Amino acid sequence: MMSKKKIIAGALGSDVHVAGVLNFLDLANKEGYDTVYLGGAVPLEKFIGGIIETDPDIVAISYRLDSDALRNLLKEFEMEIKRYGLQNKIYIFGGTVETAKVAREFSFISKVFDGSMSIDQIAMFLRGKRDEKEDEIPPQTLTERIKYKSPYPLIRHHIGLPTLQETEREIEKLAESGLLDIISLAPDQNAQQFFFTPEEMDPAQDGAGGAPFRTRDDFTRMYQASRRGNYPLLRCYSGTRNLIKFSALLHETIHNAWAAIPLTWYSDLDRRSDRPLLEAIKENQEAIRWNASMGIPVEINESHQWALRYCHGAVEVATAYIAAYNAKKLGVKYYIAQYMFNTPPEISPKMDTAKMLAKKELIESLHDNDFISYRMVRTGLMSFPADPYMAMGQLVSSMFTAAYLKPHIIHVVAYSEAIKRATSKEIIESVKMVKKAYLEAMKGLPDFEADPVVKERKEQLKEEAMLIVRAIESLGKDSDNPLIDPEVIQAAIKTGILDAPGLKKMSVACGKLRTRAINGAYYAVNEKGKPISEAQRLKSLGFEV
């Protein structure tokens, strides 16, 4: 068994500030190092003596005072380590932005921390030194990257600017920042719908809603742009037609980290595609099955689409379960379960948490050796105000609450989304805000589930969601497996078992559901605005459950 690596650390010269040193050594302990603390205001000769006596692998020097004084100290320090033959150690420095600038002048110091790096970045540095893999490219598959980064979540953001040149340039900046683990490409609507039939594209809509990808090489360019910094994974939306061809394209060009495919959407249900609903369900399922057969993780972005159309909690939770059930039955091993908070926007943090816990428990009840889900949290787009500072507050508060789910992935949505498309500047700013909020939450949150109101609502949602599931099974009683039968799913939407106010006047949906926010939660209501139970709602549709 390999012996632990050792770090010695202290504040040099007359600097008595030791909080940073102690925090660093505490993190190093957690990462498997033996640590030696020299204290504050350590004279140069004592620091050198400590290195000789303890023979560490890494020497951590801290200094937060005057820049000129530090320069003189480091000149002497360098002379002493040469005098005693101590150049074989790894020397690192931590201080203020000003003192860090001075430390970078000295070649014997291999790494400088100026307070701008997050704890997870420092932890990754320590792991690299511990395992002697600091120059190795981080894992390039989702499951391995999650393990590599644990207990810190992977950070994701999307990018899709009006031109490919802008998008490529911003991807380079994001990769160099080392802050994102996953970059999601956002193609424009022309590409999503007509990539394989370019003659159907409307040139006036080029760049609308995303980047104008038109060829295989366009995707390859973006992948090459990401081959720097911390080598983030790339992924892309699935397209709204020709989903299997699009999946193959993404697999071959950007090594798609995971596929995001709806179950019922991108059809005449939402008019993001001209595919009839039944045809769309079948094609979506085939695309899910194809990705599963290739070993590609899959996200079924379904339940939040219902929430964006103001469904009540029971429908949202039921569709989360049905989506995960479909993924499992279609052969998916690694499933990305998205938990979009703040949607619909009048939901309270307490009721949002209850809803997400209900989803989590039902989805994870499907786990076995062949089916594992990863939790991905995000802020709801509709919750962002157009004022940038208010939006920053919304982003931070939302992700602080979402940290209770202990996500494997945080899908950061830049605070500028309600104002303009995010560039690397807004994305990096947003990621830093979210990372800080999450790291604070990691110190310990209250047990929200101990709140009897949260627990009661969670159990109510689970029970009502399963009433919806049973109603669908009753509707498809002649089917071998109603929950994955496209015709049964279509019928569940047409009859109103699955419904939302935002589907009113959509010919393929019932569109009669009324919902209302009451005490921070969304309920189905009658024509007088009074809440009704899910059993009552389903009975009114002709289903006794």
pLDDT in tens, 41-64: 999 999 999 999 999 999 999 999
pLDDT band (50, 70, 90) for residue 131: low
pLDDT at 223 over 90: yes
State mean pLDDT over 501-526: 94
Q: Which of 106, 114, 125, 115 is nearest to 7 (CA)?
A: 125
pLDDT in tens, 475-488: 999 999 999 999 99
Pair 175, 43 in one domain: no
Give the pLDDT of residue 135: 60
Q: Is 434 helix (H, G, I), strand (E, B) or coil?
A: helix
Measured in Å, how far apart are the chain's first and last C-alpha atoms?
60
Q: Whole-number mean pLDDT of the chain?
A: 95
Pair 16, 94 in one domain: yes
pLDDT at 132 over 60: no
Pair 191, 315 in one domain: yes
pLDDT at 307 over 60: yes
Query: Of 400, 428, 449, at which residue does a domain stop?
Result: 449
Torsional sign, CA 418, 419, 423, 427: negative
Q: Say if 211 falls within a structural domain.
A: yes
Pair 212, 258 in one domain: yes
Give the pLDDT of residue 93: 97
CA gap 341, 380 in Å, rounded: 5
Q: Is the peptide bond before 344 cis (omega within 30 degrees of 0)?
A: yes
What DSSP designation does 528 have?
A: T
pLDDT in tens, 100-119: 999 999 999 999 999 888 88
Please, are residues 266 and 254 in contact by the beta-carbon 8 Å criterion?
A: no
State mean pLDDT over 89-106: 96
Q: What angle do CA 411, 417, 423 make, to 5 degrees?
A: 85
pLDDT band (50, 70, 90) for residue 134: low
Give the pLDDT of residue 133: 55
Residue 179, number of CB atoms within 10 A of its CB: 25
Give the pLDDT of residue 315: 98
Domain count of the chain?
Answer: 2
pLDDT at 130 over 70: no
Q: Which of 65, 112, 72, 66 is nearest to 93 (CA)?
A: 112
Q: Can you give the length of the chain in residues? A: 545
Query: Of 422, 449, 476, at which residue does a domain stop?
Result: 449
Pair 21, 97 in one domain: yes
Q: Say if 461 falls within a structural domain.
A: no
pLDDT in tens, 241-264: 999 999 999 999 999 999 999 999
Please, are residues 371 and 335 in contact by the beta-carbon 8 Å criterion?
A: yes
Q: Is the peptide bond before 151 cis (omega within 30 degrees of 0)?
A: yes
Q: Say if 329 falls within a structural domain.
A: yes
pLDDT in tens, 5-29: 999 999 999 999 999 999 999 999 9
| Stronger pLDDT, 128 or 307, i.e. the higher one | 307
Give the percent of the chain with pLDDT over 70: 99
Give the pLDDT of residue 90: 95
Pair 237, 365 in one domain: yes
- Phi/psi for 87 (5° steps) reads -70, -15
Give me the CATH number covering residue 38: 3.40.50.280
Quote the domain boundaries for residue 166. Answer: 142-449
Give me the CATH number covering residue 163: 3.20.20.240
Q: Say if 517 falls within a structural domain.
A: no
State mean pLDDT over 173-180: 96
Pair 112, 154 in one domain: no
Pair 85, 111 in one domain: yes
pLDDT at 4 over 90: no
Give the pLDDT of residue 110: 93
Pair 178, 202 in one domain: yes
State mean pLDDT over 456-474: 98
pLDDT band (50, 70, 90) for residue 1: very low
State mean pLDDT over 375-391: 94
Pair 416, 281 in one domain: yes
